[in-house]
Structure formats: C-alpha cells, structure tokens
Amino acid sequence: MSDEPPSSRPQEKSWLRKLLDNFNNEPSSREELLAIIKEAASRNLFDQEALHIIEGALEVSDQRVHDILIPRSKMVTVRVDESPEEYLPRIIDSGHSRFPVIGDNTEDVRGILLAKDLLPLILGGKENFSLESIIRPANVIPESKRLNILLREFRENRYHMALVLDEYGGISGLVTIEDILEEIVGEIEDETDEEDNDSDIRKLENNVYVVKAQTPIEDFNEFFNSGFSEDDFDTIGGVVLSGFGHLAKRNESVTIDGYEFTVLYADSRKLHLLRVSAPQSQ
C-alpha cells in the first residue's frame, strides 16, 4: 500500500520536478529566473501578491538611493534653537515619527529627533527639557548606495532614517526604511495617512488635470461627463493601462476617447498619478 498522501497529484509532482530541474540547471539571467517564478505563480504555487513582492525585491537590488529619496525641499525639519511651541505644531501636522534636527540651515545637520522622545515634555514640563540632549546621531549615506545594501544596514544597525549626500557633499534629501519597503511590497498606509477622495482629481489649467490612477471610473465619468465603461475596469488607471497595453513609465502618453493620459508617477506594479488633457469641449 502506498504511503503517498491522497492529496498528491501526478501533475503537481511533475511541475515541482520541472521547477527543481530548472533551478538545478541554474538560470543564466534574471529574465530566466523571473520566467520560472511567473510560471510557478500561474500554476497557483503561490499568489500574485507573493509574485509582486518577489519582483519588487529583485528590482530593489538594481535601484539606488537617488531613485527614491525624499528631496531636501520636502524634508520636515526641526531647528535646534526652536522652542517646543514652534516645532510641535509642525511635527503633529506632518504625522512623521523622525525628524532631522538642523542648525542654521539644512546643511548643518545636528542629529535625528524621534517623536516619542518628546514625551518628557508632557510628564516633566519644558523647564527641564533640552532638545539637544535627546537627539540621536544622524546616519549619512551617498546617493549612489544600493537599496538592498541600505536595507541590510537599516536592519543590522537598527536605524530607520538616513540623510543623503549628493556628489558635492551637500544634503540632497533623506530616505527611510519604509521608502525601501514600499518599493518591494507597494504603498504602505497607516492611520496618519489622509484619505481625501475630493483630491482624486485636481485642475492644473484649462482642460488639464492631475488625476489619481485609483479614481473610480464612475467618479471620473461624473467629473468629466465622459463615457468610459465600468464593466471591465473599476478605476481609470485600469482603463489607461489597457490603452497602453503594457505597464507604462513616467512621461508615456496615450489618447483614449479624446482624452490624453500622461503618466506622472508609476512603480513596477501599477500606475499612481496621471495628467489628463480633456477634450476642448470640457
């Protein structure tokens, strides 16, 4: 009598053997490796979400810090000589947990402030509170550092933010561990991220708009008085993706039913932001 579990099926065993044989032959390129992984996903050996994560992890190994950094102009900073009354509203409004602390300008980085270290302000009052005494050392890295190496450093050294230097030694921005993880698993939202449906469509100028790709087709049609079908796709991003026939990159354009769609932002898995030029009658 066979000891083989009843659930084992010959076709599954043959596929697993094929997969193992492929790995034994050692794929000669990343394309061959991805082809094997995609075929495994198509046979439901793992789901599409797992496939996206694997693809993201492979892509991160080719990316560098300058590809994803938050530019200096968008950094939320705290000046070392500011009073709590000055910087606390800015910290609360940002919803972030870590902030570069600077001196006279953004080139003069004194350290990193963790929002949780401000709790003594509540317990002990501000009389005995010193910002300089609680800031942590700042980690500084070059723009050229590979993301997979930085992710390992984040994990091994247990820090979550690094300041980024450009080729001239100036501060060009910052990067966090969350920024890298989002490249692998997609956007990570938490309770501080605002969900404002009214901002899905924003007018730039006459007949030109910025539109989030996840805008429901129903909302898009209502706003533009258009007639895109809601049967095949749920969002305008799905319509645009179908129009391209491939996952478009930044600045690629396609015209569908008189509307010109230009990709403003996309990652390796989906479209995020579009520029829409509506017909002149709009």
Domain boundaries, the chain: 31-60, 67-185, 200-277
H or E stretch covering 254: strand 253-256
**Separation of alpha carbons 113 and 102, rounded Å:** 10
Q: Is the pLDDT confidence value at 120 over 60?
A: yes
pLDDT digits (tens, 9 = 90+) for 201-247: 888 778 889 898 989 999 999 999 999 988 888 999 999 999 999 88
Query: pTM (2 decimals)?
Result: 0.57
pLDDT band at 250 (very low <50, low <70, confident <90, very high): confident
State residue 18's pLDDT score: 56
Listed ranges 53-67, 92-106, 123-137, 153-167; the one with the highest mean pLDDT:
153-167
Q: How many percent of the chain have pLDDT more than 70?
A: 82
More confident residue, 193 or 36: 36
Bridge partners, residue 202, by sequence: 210
CATH number of 200-277: 3.30.465.10
Question: Would you tell me how many other CB atoms lie within 10 Å of the CB of residue 45?
Answer: 14
* Pick from 194, 118, 192, 181: nearest CA to 155: 181
Q: Kindly tell me the burial class for residue 90, based on how many C-beta atoms sit within 10 Å of its own C-beta (0-12, 13-18, 19 or more).
A: middle
Mean pLDDT of 30-36: 79
**Range ranked top by mean pLDDT from 74-78, 125-129, 192-196:** 74-78
Write out the CATH class of domain 67-185.
alpha beta
pLDDT band (50, 70, 90) for residue 65:
very high
Instruction: Report pLDDT for 91.
Output: 87
Question: What mean pLDDT is predicted for residues 90-102?
Answer: 88
